[in-house]
Chain A
Amino acid sequence: MCALLTHSLAELSSYGRMTESDASLVARARAGDAAATETLLRRYFRASYIVALARVGNRLDAEDVCQDAFIRCLERLDDCREPDKFGAWLIRIVRNTAHNRGDYLRIRSAEPISLHLQVQSPMRADDETLRNELRETLMRALANLSGVQRDVVLLHDLEGWRHAEIAAHLELSEGMSRRHLSDARKKLRDLLGDYATLEPDHD
């Protein structure tokens, strides 16, 4: 009985931590609470990583960008004027950090898209080489989108975020988020042809 109660309390405490607001976590992080800092960074890691990936174009650079941005964020935590919007603030730092490494993606965007030559059949999706080529091709196609279009389409279609979340974290209106998604998909469809048969957004 006692063990059950302890377990329930632990679960409750864990739930409380999971739902702790950004503002509360920021306050604890400012006071030097490493666990709160880690929780904050973990909460926004995927979004940060996706935003970085959308700009630098490869996983290793995106991880480096995240690392640098996180350090910058921790150094300037006292400057976060709206702790309840910590996520948006962090993503802005990630975008700025990634911007300095954006040359790679700009160079690649000048290269022609040749997906049809590379992807012969979806049945060969297990093939690692094919997958790498597909990744490269997708990145080239994404490089033709604007930064915000890339962020929106990746957060929505890769990460499964809803427009309300995207709008809050990218500091857009929901309407603009929908529009960016629609524009991004149209461009990708134009670039990728048959492999991008899109349907209207149902979010």
Chain B
Amino acid sequence: MTESPHEPGRIDLRAIDHPADDLQAERVISAAMARFEAGRDSDDDVLANIVIYTRPVLAVAAGLVLVATGTLIGTQRQTEPVEPASVLASWAEASHVPTNGELLAVFQGYDR
């Protein structure tokens, strides 16, 4: 190590980075930018693949939702709620003692 003749106090550390590599910055920056671009492209690919593979699944799911909705509407129509008062009247007329299940069905649990 020698003291730089041009600036007093400065230590000559040039040996650390010798010989000078003029293309160093070019090399490192281009490599970094290329790797960054490649990573971004692969991210885009992953996103595209997710979209491609999830499309049929989404179609199936939409079909299932339609079927389920249709079934639900049909079931609701079939099980029109019966007025408990009229049922109780008919039981009284027929001297019918309702079972627990019948009571629950008429009163729909504890909602009424």
Contacts and interface: CB of A to CB of B under 8 A. Distances in A.
B28 A45 contact: yes
A53 B18 CA distance: 13
A59 B10 CA distance: 22
Q: Is the interface of A mostly helix, strand, loop or mixed?
A: helix
A79 interface: no
Nearest to B10: A157
Contacts of A158: 13-14, 16-17
Given A34-B33, A138-B15, A66 B1 contact: no
Interface residues of B, number: 28
A183 interface: no
B9 A198 contact: yes
B27 A135 contact: no
Contact of B35 (A63, A67, A154): A67
Given A135-B15, A195-B1, 17 more contacts: A38-B33, A45-B28, A70-B32, A71-B35, A71-B36, A75-B39, A119-B1, A153-B11, A157-B10, A188-B11, A195-B2, A196-B11, A198-B3, A198-B11, A199-B9, A200-B9, A202-B8
Interface of B: 1-4, 7-18, 21, 24-25, 27-29, 31-33, 35-36, 39
